[in-house]
Amino acid sequence: MTKTRILRHAAAALLAAAALGASAAASAAPASAVPATRTAHPTTVKPDDGGVWSVENGPVAYYNSPSTRVTVLGGQFSNGEQVDLMCYEFGGPAGPYNNTLWYETYTNGAFVFINDHNLNTPGTAASPDPQGTPCRTAGVGDDMPGGPYYTAVGSAVWTNEPNASSQYNAGFGFSNGDTMSLYCYAYGGPAGPYGNVLWYYAEDLNTQTFGWVNDHYLSTPDTAANPVPESWSCVQADDSGF
């Protein structure tokens, strides 16, 4: 299976620990925030593919997805801070130019996302220049850990990121009625007729293919106006080593 996995990098953790001081008080975070209490697995090692870049246009909150929908308690990125970019995903728009390019990194004891607008990386919102490799891509295989099972409602091509514009190869997708195993979720770009921003990294058990699927195409009880994740988040999955 050629699925890209995010692996731990002990050096990144040490850098993050040195760069960050005490975390921000929980009471100062917005109501939509989630705790940053996860723990890394330093036994697996992989160089951070995207290189080290500096934060700009900050300060900016930690996010648990490639989206500004949910922040993570525990601090924020400050201007000039050095950030190891582990991998990238296209997701929801952010910043004054609606930049959809995001990077995942490890900082302050958690895996979090930062938008390209807040980094001195090359490229622009209109012409993004991703650094490194995608975090999780679509593909063929059947060894993804199991998750909640739902049914596909409608047919579509897998996407490589939680964004409708990053479709996988034509012919690789899911069909109406297929059984879908939802591995993890992330908020991303809007999709479907109602602009649903909830996405799942999932496997089609009928075709043994996998990739990103928008909640609009699933029999989950949620709605675009009130998305409620039915699995753990993908950053939680990263922390668990899967």
Q: Which residues pair with 131 in a beta bridge?
A: none
Give the pLDDT band of residue 18 (cuts 50, 70, 90). Answer: very low
In a domain, 129, yes or no: no
- C-alpha 117 chain-centroid distance: 16
Host domain of residue 51: 10-118
- Write down the pTM of the prediction: 0.78
Token pair of 8, please?
A: 């731990």
Please count the structural domains in the chain: 2
Residue with tokens 């994740």: 229
59 and 156 share one domain? no
Report helix, strand or coil for 15: helix
Q: Say if residue 171 is exposed, middle or buried (CB neighbours under 10 Å; 0-12, 13-18, 19+).
A: exposed
Range with the poorest average pLDDT among 119-133, 158-172, 222-236: 158-172
Residues 51 and 148 in one domain: no
Tell me: do 35 and 108 sit in the same domain: yes
Q: What is the pLDDT of residues 135-177, one digit of tens each?
A: 999 998 876 777 899 999 999 999 999 999 888 876 788 999 9
